[in-house]
């Protein structure tokens, strides 16, 4: 070991060398950090040009600009705003307007140094200027020019296929009055009609029909006269078709009914053996029904209906054992009706 003008230096232990190397590495910035620093927002400089460093408006603007993460440099307002900004290597410059009611904002292209925006932020309201408003608008100008937002991603196109609206089942009650005529000799009877229907689908449903005479028809013979009327009760399969507006409709149905024909005799001379009396005869009826209607409100319908059918057989009507006429085969009816619907 050589002596170098003093005490000899002892070699460092191995652990000490490792600690010294680690300390040196901590003091050196990493390449990633060194590359990142110049582009970070806090290293972008904004120049404030003012006649007074304590100007309240400039102090308010300075606070808003610092909140954006930018570096702020305050200088005295001398020379042109763009020349001063380039001399200070600033990306933006702000100076008070001569009227002191706002500021002029200048921003530059950071790469080429060319001006991108020159704009005045002014508050001309009576009692102004509002320092807070001017400061916030100035900060917004810098934010939109220095921190451009990337173009938004196109919004996804969502196509919804709505299911066809289901039609709720409809029910209704119909009441009407009109004429019922059974061929065979009796005059038409004034008949009351009542029907209850329910549609299971848009077009198909069922109906229950009943009718009774309001004023029976008359049949005459040598022995006297007879009042003839029919009570019916039946059911029908119904098809209904509405117009595009839903205001008008037509319906048709086919059904079968039970018929009770009641005849009350009135002899010309009320002496034996000619004595007045009533008889009832029962039979079946197959019929077709049709309706035309129009809605006059959401619930109410007015219309006309018709019935055409045939009894199973003719029902004879006799006076004192003599044939006076018959009823049925065919049977026709016509009525005006009103209807109330609900769903």
In a domain, 8, yes or no: no
CATH code assigned at 235: 2.40.160.20
Global pTM value: 0.51
| Domain co-membership, 182 together with 277 | yes
CATH code assigned at 118: 3.40.50.800
pLDDT for res 7: 42
| Domain co-membership, 178 together with 327 | yes
In a domain, 307, yes or no: yes
- Concatenating the DSSP letter of every residue in 206-253 gives EEEEEEEEEE-EEEEETTEEEEEEEEEEEEEEEEEEE-TTSSEEEEEE
Beta 224-242 vs 204-215: how paired, if at all? antiparallel
| Domain co-membership, 175 together with 320 | yes
**Contact partners, residue 85, CB within 8 Å, separation at least 6:** 47, 91, 92, 93, 106, 108
| Domain co-membership, 122 together with 204 | no
| Domain co-membership, 136 together with 175 | no
**Cβ atoms of 197 and 171 closer than 8 Å:** yes
Angle between helices 56-67 and 131-146 (to 10 degrees): 40
Q: Around Cβ 233, how many Cβ atoms within 10 Å?
A: 15
Domain limit, last residue, from 76, 111, 146: 146
Q: How far apart are CA 215 and CA 192, in angstroms?
A: 9
| Domain co-membership, 243 together with 132 | no
For residue 244, the enclosing domain spans 170-342
pLDDT tens for the chain, residues 1 to 343: 334 344 444 444 545 445 545 444 544 444 444 333 334 444 688 988 888 878 888 888 889 888 888 888 888 888 888 888 888 888 889 988 888 888 888 887 665 556 667 888 888 888 778 888 888 888 888 888 877 766 677 777 776 655 544 445 789 999 999 999 999 888 999 999 999 999 988 889 999 999 999 999 998 877 778 889 999 999 999 999 988 887 898 999 999 999 999 988 887 765 555 555 678 889 999 999 999 999 998 889 999 999 999 999 888 887 766 777 889 889 999 999 999 988 7
pLDDT for res 195: 95
**Cβ atoms of 108 and 45 closer than 8 Å:** no
pLDDT for res 28: 46
Strand extents, DSSP E, the chain: 45-50, 71-76, 92-96, 102-108, 115-122, 170-182, 189-199, 204-215, 217-221, 224-242, 248-267, 278-295, 300-311, 315-319, 322-327, 331-342
Q: Around Cβ 330, how many Cβ atoms within 10 Å?
A: 14
In a domain, 176, yes or no: yes
Tally of domains in the chain: 2
Domain limit, last residue, from 146, 180, 210: 146
| Sheet with strand 92-96: strands edge to edge | 71-76, 45-50, 92-96, 102-108, 115-122
| Domain co-membership, 185 together with 285 | yes
The three-class DSSP label of residue 102 is: strand
């Amino acid at each position: 070991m050589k002596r170098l003008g003093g005490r000899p230096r002892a070699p460092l232990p191995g652990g000490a060398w490792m600690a010294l190397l680690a300390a040196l590495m901590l003091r050196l910035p990493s390449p990633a950090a060194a590359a990142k620093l110049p582009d970070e927002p806090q290293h972008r400089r904004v120049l404030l040009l003012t006649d007074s460093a304590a100007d309240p408006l400039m102090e308010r603007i300075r606070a808003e600009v610092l909140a954006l993460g930018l570096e702020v440099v305050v200088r005295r307002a001398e020379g042109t705003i763009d020349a001063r900004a380039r001399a200070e290597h600033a990306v933006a410059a702000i100076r008070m307007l001569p009227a002191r009611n706002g500021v002029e904002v200048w921003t530059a292209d950071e790469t080429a140094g060319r001006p991108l925006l020159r704009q005045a932020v002014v508050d001309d309201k009576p009692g102004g200027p509002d320092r807070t408003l001017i400061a916030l608008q100035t900060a917004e100008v810098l934010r939109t020019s220095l921190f451009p937002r990337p173009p938004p991603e196109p919004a996804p196109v969502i196509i919804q296929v709505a299911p066809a609206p289901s039609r709720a089942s409809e029910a209704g009650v119909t009441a009407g009055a009109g004429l019922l005529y059974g061929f065979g000799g009796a005059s038409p009877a004034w008949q009351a009609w009542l029907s209850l229907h329910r549609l299971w689908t848009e077009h198909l449903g069922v109906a229950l029909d009943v009718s009774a005479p309001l004023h029976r028809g008359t049949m005459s013979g040598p022995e006297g006269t007879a009042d003839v009327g029919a009570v019916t009760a039946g059911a029908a399969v119904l098809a209904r078709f509405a117009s595009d507006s839903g205001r008008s409709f037509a319906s048709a149905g086919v059904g079968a009914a039970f018929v009770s024909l009641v005849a009350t005799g009135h002899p010309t001379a009320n002496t034996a053996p000619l004595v007045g009396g009533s008889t009832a005869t029962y039979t079946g009826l197959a019929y077709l029904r049709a309706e035309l209607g129009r809605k006059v409100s959401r619930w109410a319908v007015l219309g006309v209906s018709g019935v055409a059918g045939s009894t199973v057989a003719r029902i004879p009507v006799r006076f004192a054992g003599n044939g006076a006429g018959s009823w049925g085969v065919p049977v026709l009816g016509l009525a005006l009706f009103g209807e109330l619907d609900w769903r």
